[in-house]
Amino acid sequence: MIIVNRNVRASRRTPNRFSRQLFAPLPKKYNLLAQVLSFAQDRRWRSEMIRHVVPSRPKLILDVACGPGAVTTQLARSSEAKIIGIDLSPEMLHAASDNIARGYGDRVWLVQGHAEELPFPDATFDALTFTYLLRYVADPQAVLKELARVVKPGGRIASLEFAVPTKPVWRVLWWIYTRIVLPLAGLLTGGKGWMSVGRFLGPSISSHYRHYSVDWTVDAWRRAGIDHVEWRTMSLGGGLVMWGYRSD
């Protein structure tokens, strides 16, 4: 079931408006092409993130920036929890609804909303995940504080983001792939919409880490009220999984 928040306006924040427009044409093929264009690494990254949430046996999980429901579905498959997925894009939520209804619709709800202003009371959720979010918000520190606000003390929080490889050889190959191969592959497999995402992705990731390094992000989690923050890079440095616990 999709709960549409009629108060959501994509024009309220420039990053929100841009991301909504960028991804609007993509939901139908998003999960499939994310796997193809990442050489099946996206699924490994999601599994690693979920591994830091599910063992605590949460009863209620919030999946922020849920997109077409890949993480939401995997959380439902891996646990007995009830799950709320929230995303800015109604197109993504409709795709998620179609995907989730095939097996987990009785314990998954989808909500349209902003990560900057989550429509939930303090300390509502036992755990929280968010995926590919921080590059699309104007103030990552404020968003992290808002995410932590809705998690119960001691609840687990985990995230998945793209990253820039640190070793020179892998960084060069990553640059070639993200600037040249990815836009072309996106065009051939998904059309102009995916080419636009391919052209945007590499520069966006590089720009984000010039402003917000991994060390900055770890400190930002701690300042937001998240303890025991740890992280792991995956796939030669192309993916970053981070996790911690809501402080008491």
Taking 50 as the threshold, does the pLDDT of residue 75 lie above it? Answer: yes
User: In DSSP terms, which residues pair with 63 in a beta bridge?
Assistant: 85, 129
- Taking alpha carbons only, the member of 45, 23, 38 closest to residue 182 is 38
Q: How many CB atoms lie within 10 A of CB 228?
A: 11
pLDDT digits (tens, 9 = 90+) for 133-174: 999 999 999 999 999 999 999 999 999 999 999 999 999 999
User: In which residue are the tokens 């997925």 written?
Assistant: 85
Q: Are 30 and 92 a contacting pair, CB within 8 Å?
A: yes
The lowest-confidence range among 4-8, 66-70, 197-201 is: 4-8
pLDDT tops 80 at residue 205: yes
Q: Is residue 112 a contact partner of residue 87, using CB atoms and an 8 Å limit?
A: yes
* Distance in angstroms (rounded) separating the CA atoms of residues 153 and 23: 34
Please check the confidence at residue 9 and state whether its pLDDT lies above 60.
no
Instruction: Specify the range with the lowest mean pLDDT, choosing from 89-98, 130-139, 213-222, 224-233.
Output: 89-98
DSSP 201-231: HHHHHHHHHHHS-HHHHHHHHHHTTEEEEEE
Cα angle 141, 145, 147; round to 5: 115
Give how far the C-alpha of residue 73 lies from the chain's centroid of Cα atoms, to the nearest Å: 13
Q: What kind and span of H or E run contains 22?
A: helix 14-23
Instruction: Name the pLDDT band for 12 (thresholds 50, 70, 90).
Output: very low
Query: Residue 234's closest CA among 183, 160, 176, 169?
Result: 160
16 pLDDT band (50/70/90 cuts)?
low
pLDDT band of residue 18 (cuts 50, 70, 90) is low
CATH topology of domain 2-164+212-246: Rossmann fold (3.40.50)
**33 — pLDDT class (breaks 50, 70, 90):** low
pLDDT of residue 117: 96
Structure tokens at 28: 């139908």
Is a pLDDT exceeding 70 seen at residue 8?
no
Looking at residue 161, its pLDDT comes to: 95
Spatial CB neighbours of 119, under 8 Å, sequence gap ≥ 6: 5, 111, 113
Confidence of residue 19 (pLDDT cuts 50, 70, 90): low
- Output the average pLDDT for the chain: 88
